[in-house]
Amino acid sequence: MHSQSHPICVTIKDAVKMIGVGNTKFHELLNSGEIEAVKSGRQTLVLTSSLHKYVENLPRRPIKG
């Protein structure tokens, strides 16, 4: 039995892909504090918990089809 692990942090490149925004918008979110990141040496790592929180707080819209 394998347990699937979820990363605590991801790179900015991966975080941008995860939430589907552009680099400029993502850096605005980082600078405003809406998304949290930490430094590990020279690398910036984004907390996946803050990505989940950001997406969960986005306004809900009905999907028209």
pTM above 0.85, yes or no: no
Apex 14 CA angle, 7 and 59, nearest 5: 90
The model's pLDDT over 25-60, given as tens digits with 9 standing for 90+, comes to: 999 999 999 999 999 999 999 999 999 999 999 999
Structural domain boundaries in the chain: 9-56
Tell me what pLDDT residue 2 has: 52
pLDDT in tens, 4-20: 688 999 999 999 999 99
